[in-house]
A and B are shown apart, each in its own frame.
Chain A
Amino acid sequence: MDLLSLPFMQRALIAAVVTGLAAPAVGTYLVQRRLALMGDGLGHVAVTGVALGLVTGIAPTWTAVVVAVVGAVVLELIRERGHTNGDVALALLFYGGLAGGVLLTGIGGQSAARLQQFLFGSITTVSVADVIAVMVLAAVVVVICVGLSPQLFAVAQDQDFARVAGLRVRGYNMLIAVLAAVSVTVAMRTVGLLLVSALMVVPVATAQQVTRSFRTTLAAAMLLGTVASLGGLLIAAFPPGDVRIAPGPTIVLLALAGFALTWPLGAWLRHRHRLETPFAPGVNVDHELAGEHPHDHGDDCGHVAVRHGDHLDYVHDGHRHARHDEHYDEH
């Protein structure tokens, strides 16, 4: 456990926590607008930003923020014009950003290994300055995403309605795009630019399996993101056996494992909820008796009992059976 007291490890832990909080916070709004892949597009654009930093000697965190924000604004403008659909605009960003980054790194004579740190994350090499930058940026993202959640929710839910409610829809759209760009940069040291989107989207997808409201989805996604990113880092720090494990992919795989585990749970919960929703109370037109019925329904008879007005209907084989004196009625 000595490892945890080492400064580089503590910096890594801080970076993991703030990334785990910030990325899913923005991710929730992206998924709500059905722009799940936007984080990926911006991650690719940020590659160019990082390369620019490496070539010019400016801290790559800041060049990445600037370039990703510019990319986000351009993307939002393209979407707004509606000349091309959002997904195609994203695809264009993917290719341009990645190609530009690799090209620039080559021109600058930088080694591919240096770029790779940003592509796949290198959380254990984070400097003090990096940690402070990441913390500040993440705090901005989280405060805005949570504080403005009523407005951001309304805009993402129904743009027309939000506009008639006097919200500056364009401004909020732009804000989300910029926040997405910022959180891409926040997450770049933790999981790497190519896997950024996973941390933005997978916790949200996992949370959705069991939630029915927006606020719980947002909160659960942030919690799941933090758990995945801390857990992934710790697994990588204390690997089982004598293997070397990279933290970035571990975090992403842990998040995916969470999704894989929750999916059946969510399916089961939704199924359960549907089964147990009370039947609308109402009069039964006919008094129809169930046929041959040797089975006796009760608390533990194994059939789902659903409330129906003032009594219970037992559901089995496509029938709803209600006790009536010594027999069962079809309801």
Chain B
Amino acid sequence: MTTPAVPPPISLEDGAVALAGRPVLRGVDLTVHSGDFLALMGANGSGKSTLVRALTGLLPLTRGRLELFGTPIREFAQWRRLGFVPQRAGAASGVPASVWEVVASGRLTHRRLLRPLSRADRAAIDEAIEVVGLQDKTRDGVSQLSGGQQQRALIARALAGQPDLFFLDEPTAGVDLPNQVALAASLGRLKERGATVVLVAHELGPLAPLVDRSVVMRDGRVAHDGAALADHAVHQAGFGDVHEHHCDEPARPRRRDHLPDVTSPLDQPLDRRGRR
């Protein structure tokens, strides 16, 4: 085998991740080549989000070796090449923020400190908003949008950075079919440009034709890595439907201290972001 001239965007060897001291991912080997469109699939709790968070450097590896574009993750600094759509149920925070502002924050990787937005920045922001079809809502507050519209704003935020390597964690959850088709079209354009995409999804829908490789996770390990699979094939025997085993276990076997909950006066009763 010859060494490729261009290092692969993602190269993970024997990766393991522990959450709250409990091993979650074990022995994950994953190399994603430039231009790959990879679908990461598997049951709830199988470790897809954990893997994506580890690949983006958000979670430390307990063992193994991760390189992005040939650079070990600890030394990695080309963040503008990365785009990330986190798995989340909303984009609201304690102070109003307009759709434009949220999307514009995706452009930060291209901006230097204390510099105003360039013409190219503004064009990229407008284009990203148009791709997700929110151009009528540009000046609206994100918290006034529906869940699916908020999700589209988060997709636009990642698109605005014009990344080479794109992580999308269930981007189409709660997004209607016409907008999934629009997203598929824009991801298709990214793919033609040579971008690499890692997509977590339970149902590929209109994105299915783009996928050229499927990785199926099962209980923190890779159960299948190869040709694209149809949605239903993921849960068929062999890759194991873990539902049966997990049914009577709590979804998050996480032990938390009991704490008196004193909320601030301006807190909303439910933090939609869930964590901290």
Q: Which A positions have Cβ atoms within 8 angstroms of B?
A: 28, 31-37, 79, 82-88, 90-91, 147-148, 150-151, 153-154, 156-158, 160-167, 201, 204-205, 208, 211-215, 217
Contact A32 B58 (CB under 8 A): no
Contact A34 B266 (CB under 8 A): yes
Check: B194 CB closer than 8 A to any chain A CB.
no
Closest-by-CB residue of B relative to A215 is B101
Least CB distance from B59 to A in Å reads 10
Total count of chain B residues near the partner, CB < 8 A: 48
Q: Which of A164, A208, A215 contacts B56 (CB 8 A)?
A: A164
State in angstroms the CA–CA spacing of A144 and B118 once bound together: 21
Contact A87 B86 (CB under 8 A): no
The verdict on A205 contacting B113 (CB below 8 Å), with A85-B276, A158-B86, A164-B56 known, is no
Contacts of B56 on A, CB cut-off 8 Å? 163-164
State in angstroms the CA–CA spacing of A165 and B157 once bound together: 11
State in angstroms the CA–CA spacing of A85 and B97 once bound together: 25
Contact B95 A154 (CB under 8 A): no
State in angstroms the CA–CA spacing of A29 and B265 once bound together: 15
Going nearest first, the 3 A-B pairs with the smallest beta carbon separation are A166-B79, A213-B98, A154-B105
Contacts of B113 on A, CB cut-off 8 Å? 148, 151
Contact B96 A164 (CB under 8 A): no
The verdict on A157 contacting B93 (CB below 8 Å), with A85-B259, A163-B57, A201-B266 known, is yes
Q: Which B positions have Cβ atoms within 8 angstroms of A?
A: 53, 56-58, 77, 79-80, 82, 84, 86, 91, 93-98, 100-102, 104-106, 108-109, 111, 113-114, 139-141, 144, 157, 161, 167, 257, 259-268, 271, 276
Contact A160 B86 (CB under 8 A): yes
New A-B pairs, 14, CB < 8 Å, besides A160-B53, A164-B167, A214-B96: A34-B93, A36-B264, A36-B265, A84-B259, A87-B263, A88-B260, A150-B108, A154-B105, A156-B93, A161-B105, A165-B108, A166-B80, A208-B95, A213-B97
Contacts of B77 on A, CB cut-off 8 Å? 166
Contact B257 A161 (CB under 8 A): no
Contacts of A205 on B, CB cut-off 8 Å? 266
Q: Which of A87, A147, A158, A162 contacts B91 (CB 8 A)?
A: A158
Q: Which of A35, A158, A212 contacts B139 (CB 8 A)?
A: A212
Contact A88 B259 (CB under 8 A): yes
Contact B260 A147 (CB under 8 A): no
Closest-by-CB residue of B relative to A38 is B264
Contacts of A211 on B, CB cut-off 8 Å? 96
Closest-by-CB residue of A relative to B111 is A150
State in angstroms the CA–CA spacing of A91 and B53 once bound together: 32
Contacts of A167 on B, CB cut-off 8 Å? 108
Least CB distance from A217 to B in Å reads 5
> What are 23 inter-chain pairs, A to B, with CB distance below 8 A?
A28-B95, A33-B94, A34-B267, A87-B262, A88-B260, A90-B262, A148-B114, A151-B113, A153-B101, A154-B108, A157-B93, A157-B102, A158-B105, A164-B56, A164-B82, A164-B167, A167-B108, A212-B144, A213-B96, A213-B141, A214-B95, A214-B101, A217-B95
Contact B261 A150 (CB under 8 A): no
Contact B57 A212 (CB under 8 A): no
Q: Which of B82, B96, B276 contacts A208 (CB 8 A)?
A: B96
Contacts of A201 on B, CB cut-off 8 Å? 266
Contacts of A213 on B, CB cut-off 8 Å? 96-98, 100-101, 139, 141
The verdict on A32 contacting B157 (CB below 8 Å), with A160-B58, A164-B57, A201-B266 known, is no
Least CB distance from A115 to B in Å reads 27
The verdict on A151 contacting B108 (CB below 8 Å), with A85-B276, A163-B57, A213-B141 known, is yes
Contacts of B271 on A, CB cut-off 8 Å? 34
The verdict on A212 contacting B140 (CB below 8 Å), with A31-B94, A36-B264, A150-B111 known, is yes
Contact A157 B105 (CB under 8 A): yes
Least CB distance from B154 to A in Å reads 8
Contact B97 A157 (CB under 8 A): yes
Contacts of A86 on B, CB cut-off 8 Å? 276
Q: Which of A37, A79, A88, A163 contacts B58 (CB 8 A)?
A: A163
State in angstroms the CA–CA spacing of A290 and B136 once bound together: 31
Q: Which of A32, A150, A164 contacts B79 (CB 8 A)?
A: A164
Least CB distance from B92 to A in Å reads 9
Contact B266 A161 (CB under 8 A): no
State in angstroms the CA–CA spacing of A154 and B113 once bound together: 13
Closest-by-CB residue of B relative to A214 is B97
Closest-by-CB residue of A relative to B101 is A214
